[in-house]
Every structure is written in C-alpha cells, then in structure tokens.
Structure 1
Amino acid sequence: MQADPSEVGRARRWVRSRLLNHGVDPDAPMAETVVLVVSELVTNAVVHTGCPAVLRLCLPVADGSAQAGPCGLLRVEVADASRTAPAPRHAGADEDATNGRGLELVELLCERWGWYPDGSGKRVWCEIDTQARPVDPMAGADWAALAQ
C-alpha cells in the first residue's frame, strides 16, 4: 500500500474479499471486527510513518465441520518502514476526537497484539479469535480512567 490515507479503504475492501473467499459472511460480527482492526493498523502505518505499508492476513484453516469459515486465531500483520514502537495513546475525555483510539480498539478487540523489528522497519500484528462470541468491548471498561 502506498503512503496515502485512501489506501485504508482499499485495505478494508481487500480484507472483506479475502474473508468472503474464505467462507465468512462479510456482515458477521467477526468480519466487522477484522475490518475495523485492519483499518486501524493500516491507518497508523500510512498516516504516522508517511511510508508505504504491507498488509498480511493469515486465515486459519476450516476444521471440516458443517460450520463455514475459519476456526482458531486469525492473524493480521502490517509492516511499515518506521522502527518507532507503536504505543496506545489514550484519547482522554474528548469524545469528539477523531484520532488517538486505534491501538486502544486493537487492544479491546484482539486476543493479543504486539510488534517486532522487521528489516529497517517494524511489523505490527494482532490475533483475533474467530470462534469468540461477539461481546461488548466496552463492558467492564473503567470509564473514569478512559475519561482522564
């Protein structure tokens, strides 16, 4: 992907297509979660680094049961040319803020996430449990801490 914010939409379309080709309903909660996470990670890569990024989606293999779609952990990876470690920025009390929540969302929606140096840049990754039941990611949130 080029270092252009319009690439984020292209990444979302690509992920929806890959999920559909893998037997996942693009309107299913899990698919929406994957698309949102990809959107946030790609946005971080192209906006904060100003460099092209590479998106990789690792879909688990179906177990052969009657249930269509992947089973297990789905992995998203975004590589960029910056060695700067990603760090969640807590957006604070400004409910109208249009940025600063990307990695917070990734933390809430994924089983785990991280990053590692990759060549002259880094690779940010996350894993999403494809078998998890949809839950309210804000259930049990510490609203007082989020408002600070």
Structure 2
Amino acid sequence: MTATTPELQYVIGDFCLRRQFTPKLLEPIRRFTEAWLAFWQLSELADPCLSIVTELCANVRHTPDRYFELTMSVQAGYLRMNVRDHSPILPDVPHELSDPDATSGRGLYVVARYADRVGVDRLADGKEVWAEIALQERVDAA
C-alpha cells in the first residue's frame, strides 16, 4: 500500500429488515441505516444512503400488501441497498426529471441521482429495486 492510497477496512456483513410498510417506519429505518454505516466505517455516506433507503422503502406504499425486505451489504467495492416486495410491477428508473412541477414520481429519480448504479430485477414472487454506491470513488474523493 502506498501513502496516497487509503486503506479500506470495511466490515463485511449484511443488514436486513422485513416489515410491513407504514410511514412511521421510515424514521427507524433511517436510524438503522446510520448505525450500520457507522459499524461499517462508512458514516461519510450517510446523506446519500439515507435518501436512497428512504425513497426505496417509501415506494412500497404502492404495493398491494406493503410487505418488504430491505437489505444493505458491502460487496465487491460497493455499498448495495435492496428493497424486495411482492408487486410484479417493475418501475422505470428515470435519469431525467420529466415534469419539474409534478407532485409525485420523483423518488427513483432521487435514487438515480445519488447512486452510481440503479436497477430493478423481476423475482418469482415480486421484484427487487436496488442501488449501489461505489466505495473506492467515495474514498478517493474525500
């Protein structure tokens, strides 16, 4: 390791929460997210991660049963945040804000602005919406 290369010492592990969505759950989810980021020594990513996790979880309110699973993990140089639900409807991830005056439809746009990669995967029992933040790029920028 050179003097100019910061040492990455991330604790590898997963955070997982399975619940039925209610708006009151968003604040505890934010606190859990902050705690896990601190545990992984990634507190500097709190602002983008809190926005991403909040938006991904809030979208579950549109699903029929509102049950979801939030997972966060550090893997292969990325912090990955996933939300799985039982809805078969796959959302579009907009990379441009189509109507600046719209009162809804901004959540995944916000996710796409904060994340380095965003995607939606169809599952046998629903879907998974995920976002990743590249860790090395964030460390190098700090």
TM-score when normalising by structure 2: 0.73
Contact 1:40 1:103 in 2 (8 A): yes
Runs of 4+ in 1 over 3 A off after TM superposition: 88-91
Larger helix fraction of residues: 2
Contact 2:93 2:119 in 1 (8 A): no
Counterpart selection for 2:100 from 93, 105, 122: 93
Q: For the residues of structure 1 that align with 2:22 and 2:31, how far apart are their CA atoms?
A: 15
TM-score when normalising by structure 1: 0.70
Is the aligned partner of 1:127 residue 2:142?
no
The 5 Å alignment of 1:34-53 reads 34-45=49-60, 47-50=61-64, 51-53=66-68
Contact 1:91 1:100 in 2 (8 A): no
Residue 130 of structure 1, CA deviation:
2.2
Q: Percent identity?
A: 31
- CA root-mean-square deviation: 2.2
Q: For the residues of structure 1 that align with 2:93 and 2:124, how far apart are their CA atoms?
A: 23
> Quick one: structure 1 residues 133 and 74, their matched pair in 2 at CA, closer, same or farther if it must change by over 3 Å?
closer
Structure 1 stretches lacking a partner, 5+ long: 62-71, 135-148
The 5 Å alignment of 1:1-148 reads 1-25=19-43, 28=44, 30-45=45-60, 47-50=61-64, 51-60=66-75, 72-88=77-93, 90=97, 92-94=99-101, 97=103, 99-133=104-138
Larger strand fraction of residues: 2
Contact 1:88 1:101 in 2 (8 A): no
Matched letter for residue 41 of structure 2: G
Secondary structure at 2:23 match in 1: coil
Aligned residues, how many?
118
Q: For the residues of structure 1 that align with 2:40 and 2:81, how far apart are their CA atoms?
A: 15
